[in-house]
Amino acid sequence: MARSYTQRLRAEKSTQTRAAILAAARDLFAEADELKVDQIAHRAGVSVPTLYTHFESKGKLLSAVVGEISREVGLFAGFERVWRCHDGESALRTMLETTFRFWHRAWSLAEFGLRVRRIDPELGARFDRLDESRLGHLVVICRRLAQEGRLKTRTSPARAARAAFALTTPYVYEELVVHGGLPLSSAVRIAVQAALDAVIRRGSDPVRSERIDWTKLGLRPPAN
């Protein structure tokens, strides 16, 4: 009985420590140009070795923070809406809207990513993985659009996905909302419509299916 109680206390302490480290890392995003483990440990009230017992590297810590924020701001819920779409255009629109709203709701993280990937190869590689994951999902959706005969002439799914990706990056959000002062709803409408216009053949109509197994086609939760 005493051993079980002690184990439970240790587990609770470990959970609290992990949460404190994640919170400290998130607090630093708005002001930091890099992820300094000693600063995070100090703010969390733990030693650097303790931090590394919970997260083996800066990259693993960043991945945990990204996952936590993604759940909180609705990125994964947005993916669920994509999986319920019945045609390629609605899936692409939903994916891009979800992404653009994620930049808004998690701007401190997105902005940190824009800064840190230029100076920290380890963390830059983590953000590159996120980009590759997003691009891969767009390729899957654009393949569906190609099957529906909806992509522009001589536009491959890979090229269409790259165009949609480029038109909805954090840089575009920053120009429209942060610097341009547009309301989020207006920025989403402008960016998403620009992406759709860039890849979908004018005058073509959605080809709906009663059910599309998007997971089987290759859509997965965002990599972190």
- Print pLDDT tens along the chain (224 aa): 556 656 666 667 888 999 999 999 998 887 778 888 999 999 999 999 999 999 988 889 999 999 999 999 999 898 889 999 999 999 999 999 999 999 999 999 999 999 888 888 988 999 999 999 999 999 999 999 999 999 999 999 999 999 999 999 999 999 999 999 999 999 999 999 999 999 999 999 999 999 898 888 888 766 55
- Phi, psi for residue 218 in degrees, rounded to 5: 130, 0
Quick one: fold of 2-55? Arc Repressor Mutant, subunit A (1.10.10)
Question: DSSP assignment, residue 1?
Answer: -
**CA atoms of 117 and 129, how far apart (whole Å):** 12
First to last CA, the chain: 39
pLDDT value of residue 8: 64
204 contacts 150 by C-beta, under 8 angstroms: yes
Provide the whole-model pTM: 0.87
Helix%, strand%, coil% for the chain, nearest 5: 75, 0, 25
Which one, of 165, 145, 130, 133, lies nearest residue 59 by Cα?
130
**CA atoms of 219 and 216, how far apart (whole Å):** 7
pLDDT value of residue 35: 84
Q: Which two tokens stand for residue 51?
A: 């931090």
61 contacts 39 by C-beta, under 8 angstroms: no
218 contacts 115 by C-beta, under 8 angstroms: no
Per domain, the residue ranges of the chain are: 2-55, 74-217
Q: Is the domain defined by 74-217 classed in CATH 1.10.357.10?
A: yes
